[in-house]
Each structure stands twice: as C-alpha cells, then as structure tokens.
Amino acid sequence: MKNFKEALNAIRCFVFDVDGVLTNNTIVVMQNELHRIMNIRDGFALKEAVEQGYHVVIISGGKSESVRTRLANLGIKDIYLGVQDKTEKLDDIKIQYDLKKEEILYMGDDIPDYYVMQQVGVPTCPNDATHEIRALSAYISPFNGGEGCARDVIEQTMKLHGKWPVK
C-alpha cells in the first residue's frame, strides 16, 4: 500500500464503527437503553464530509436507536445497526456506490472490525484500539475512540482534497 497520506487521495467513502470509534468505549446502563457519549467535533467533521459529497457509512453491531437518530441528524443516510457480518454489508456498499477498495477508509477498534478492515484501501483505528486492529491499520490516530479520532481522519482527507472549511 502507498503511504497513508498518498492513500487518502483516492478516498470517496468513510466507514465507521460506532462503539469504541465514535464513542469512548463506555456505556451508561439505564433502565430502557444503553447510553453512549459521542464527541461533538467528530460530529462536525462527519457532517462536513456528508455536505462535501463524501459517502459516510456507519456499520455497527450495536442497535441503539438514539445512535441512529444522532447520526441521521448529522445528515448520514447509510446507518446500518445490528450488523453481524460487516464484510457482507461493506460489499453491498461497494456495489451501491460503485466503489473500489482503494476509495474506502474504514475506522474500527476491535475484533468485529478485523475482517472488514482487510477489505478496504485505508484501514485506520483510534489510539486505544486492540493490538490486532492496530497491527492491521495503515494509520493509528493519536486520539482515542470518542475523543476525535473520526475528526482526525476526515479532516486530514478533506484538507488534502481542498474541501475542509478552513484552508
């Protein structure tokens, strides 16, 4: 693979896991639902990416409708929750948007992301990802899950493409 910055030139699609990537690996157990904490700056970057025409896709094993609502409010249309086979879902996305492997950046943090990360051009992870995922990643963000790692990869890509709101 090319170096990380060179590989970002081809990116048209960002795919993110939720728990441990868009959240900080912490859940608050409440009576009716598990609550998660998401980073506002990640949200800003996700919204900017959508507005600039990137495909932004969420593939998660979790099933939280509050997560769906939060991400939909950012303009994300491709939100897949309760997914058991992330590789199969990614194959569907590739067909739907006519994407090549090299055009996809995926960020995951744990074993459920392992095989799907092998199917993309730019596998990435938060700083606190498991050692198996870190070993597989072309880039390890200096930020932990839920603490700006999504913003990190989106901002780098969009700046490289001249699409970040501040030049």
Q: Where are the domains of the chain?
A: 4-160
C-beta separation of 39 from 147 below 8 A: yes
Q: Residue 57's beta-bridge partner residues?
A: 15, 78
pLDDT of residue 128: 97
pLDDT of residue 89: 97
Neighbours of 92 (CB within 10 A): 13
Show the tokens assigned to 35: 């609550």
Residue among 10, 6, 19, 7 at smallest CA distance from 107: 19
pLDDT of residue 127: 98
Question: DSSP labels for 80-124?
Answer: E-S-S-HHHHHHHHHHHHT--GGGEEEE--SGGGHHHHTTSSEEE
Nearest-angstrom CA–CA distance, 51 and 140: 25
As to burial, measured by CB atoms within 10 angstroms (0-12 exposed, 13-18 middle, 19+ buried), residue 87 is: middle
SS3 call for 135: helix
pLDDT in tens, the chain (167 residues): 569 999 999 999 999 999 999 999 776 776 677 778 889 999 999 999 999 999 999 999 988 888 999 999 999 999 999 999 999 999 999 999 999 999 999 999 999 999 999 999 999 999 999 999 999 999 999 999 999 999 999 999 999 999 999 97
Give the count of alpha carbons within 13 A of 72, CB side only: 9
pLDDT of residue 70: 95
pLDDT of residue 60: 96
Enter the DSSP assignment of 164. S
Nearest-angstrom CA–CA distance, 2 and 81: 32
CATH number of 4-160: 3.40.50.1000
pLDDT of residue 90: 98
Instruction: Return the amino acid letter for 145.
Output: G
Provide the whole-model pTM: 0.94
| Sign of the four-CA dihedral 149, 150, 155, 157 | positive
